[in-house]
Amino acid sequence: MVTPVLLCGGAGTRLWPLSRESYPKQFVPLIGETTLFQAAAKRLCGPRFDPPVIVTNSDFRFIVTEQLAEIDVTPGTILLEPEGRNTAPAILAAALWLARKDPDALMLIAPSDHLLSDADAFLAAIEAGLGPARAGEIVTFGITPTHPETAYGYLELAERPQADYEPPRPRSFVEKPDPDRAAEMVSAGRYLSNAGIFLASARCLLEAYHHHAPELIDPVKQAVEDCEPDLNFHRLARVPWSRAQDISIDYAIMEKADNLRVIPYDAGWSDLGGWTAVWRESTPDSKGVVTSEHATALDCEDTLLRSEDSAMEVVGIGLKNIIAIAMPDAVLVADASRAQDVKQAVAALSKKQARQASCFPKDHRPWGWFESLVQGNRFQVKRIVVRPGAALSLQSHHHRSEHWIVVQGTARVTINNTEQLMTETQSIYIPVGAVHRLENPGKLPVVLIEVQTGAYLGEDDITRFDDVYARK
């Protein structure tokens, strides 16, 4: 059996405005109806696999569980990072966790934000790596490049990979190349894209860390040993975790290891590391145009037009090599050749403290989500969706009153010592300071419109008295 270890703590700023710090690309449906995280979890379940270990940011914990529930995948363990420290500490934490029960447990370490179009071919590649992994090798999967790409690194082999041969060892790791160098490497045929997917036993990985990155062992081991259970999660201890070096697994281990084997893989892979990659994987038409449902292209070439809001139609006329992505609160328009510079736009927005730099329009919570529809001086209107069986915390506000109007479903509302059921078209007023809660006892989502009025409308104006999700 193999234990998948899914890493899903990244921010994905190169796919702004759809991917943001509060809701990054692994959790949004970039290609098709499912998210990249769901697709990764789905293809790594079944009789060959144990339940996955998920390593994620604490802020994403309820998004992870909700998306896994939607595809009927039950995780084995969800480890919560107090802060991002890159892939080397995250993978070490997973190895230490699994080694407590079985030091020889095989780990398949995979990012959760990659696209693999042929799940069966990927499973066959994993099967080819099981022998070397059981023999104490670290197996990595190198992707046969189809075009020059500057967004990720490469593995150099001594010669062109050949079928039915023993998996080769890499000669070197190559950092993200410039366009000319990338073209040379693709032509040479000896270079494979570095997918960041690894297969090895926990024992083998721990030996590699002791040999190549011993400075990581003590802080990460302490963070695992002192982790705190939190509902169905395990929080790595904050203080020792903060002492772990922020470093990737490639720098810490893989570029130094002498027991590395490469399984070539050429059945369709993309890290979707920018909008040109999304365009390429979205099956452009004969003119190289990709449009979403609410986008229209007239006399355009090599262009991607997407609207992520059903109320916003995007129209392009006479465009060439353009990327245009429309969200309810932000629009990106860029020359396709500058797609990798989107992160500069995020940095510029962060500098001017624009909320759009990091915050998704929909604010996802463990009970559902909300979005702001209108905001002005001393008032705000929100749409709130509460999942069946979910409940907001028992809370109060110091600076605002609220007026709730139920537009779908049945809600149980508590205000101070009074409880009542509310159905569609009914409304209720919550005065400043009142202790209140909303629950969804039904089988359908509850949708309500909330009108806030007051001197301060920030999300931090909240005092929680009871919360089924154990939030502080």
User: Domain containing 149 — which CATH number?
Assistant: 3.90.550.10
The number of distinct structural domains making up the chain is 3
Does 471 map to a domain? no
Helices 36-43 & 61-70 angle (0-180, nearest 10): 60
Q: Is 283 exposed, middle or buried (0-12, 13-18, 19+ CB in 10 A)?
A: exposed
| 357 domain-assigned | no
Angle at which helices 217-225 and 87-99 pack, to 10 degrees? 50
CA distance 363 to 22: 8
Answer whether residue 178 is part of any domain. Answer: yes
Contact present, 262 and 141 (Cβ < 8 Å): yes
Are 263 and 293 contained in the same domain? no
CATH number at residue 373: 2.60.120.10
- Based on the domain organization, do 366 and 334 belong to the same domain? no
Looking at the structure, do residues 53 and 123 belong to the same domain, yes or no? yes
To 10 degrees, the CA torsion angle through 252, 258, 263, 265?
Answer: 40
Residue 246 inside a domain? The answer is: yes
Residue 472 placed within a domain: no
Task: For residues 447 and 385, give the distance between their C-alpha atoms in angstroms, rounded to a whole number.
Answer: 5
Assess whether 194 and 298 both reside in one domain: no
Looking at the structure, tell me whether residues 290 and 240 fall in a common domain.
no
Q: Whole-angstrom Cα distance, residue 156 to residue 121?
A: 22
Does 332 lie in the same domain as 366? no
Query: Considering the domain boundaries, does residue 256 fall inside one?
Result: yes
Task: Point out the domain boundary residue: 352, 373, 388.
Answer: 352
User: Where in the sequence is the domain holding 402, given as residue range(s)?
Assistant: 362-466
Report phi then psi at 223, rounded to 5.
-65, -35
What residue type is 471 in one-letter code? R
Cα–Cα distance for residue pair 292/305, rounded to 1 Å: 7
Residues 164 and 228 in one domain: yes
Q: How far apart are CA 213 and CA 255, in angstroms?
A: 11
Tell me which H or E stretch contains 212. Answer: helix 202-212
Choosing from 251, 270, 289, the residue where a domain stops is 270
Q: Whole-model pTM?
A: 0.90
Helices (H), 215-309: 217-225, 238-242, 249, 275-281
Of 270, 291, 309, which marks where a domain is finished? 270
pLDDT tens string, the chain, 472 residues long: the values are 999 999 998 777 899 999 999 999 999 999 988 999 999 999 999 899 999 999 999 889 999 999 999 999 999 999 999 999 999 999 999 999 999 999 999 999 999 999 998 989 999 999 999 999 999 999 999 888 888 887 778 888 877 766 656 788 888 888 888 888 888 888 888 888 888 999 999 999 999 999 999 999 999 999 999 999 988 899 999 999 999 999 999 999 999 999 999 998 888 888 888 999 999 999 999 999 999 999 999 999 999 999 999 999 999 999 999 999 999 999 999 999 999 899 999 999 999 999 999 999 999 999 999 999 999 999 999 999 999 999 999 999 999 999 999 999 999 999 999 999 999 999 999 999 999 999 999 999 999 999 999 999 999 999 999 998 887 6
- What is the 3 state secondary structure string of 79-99? EEECCCCCHHHHHHHHHHHHH
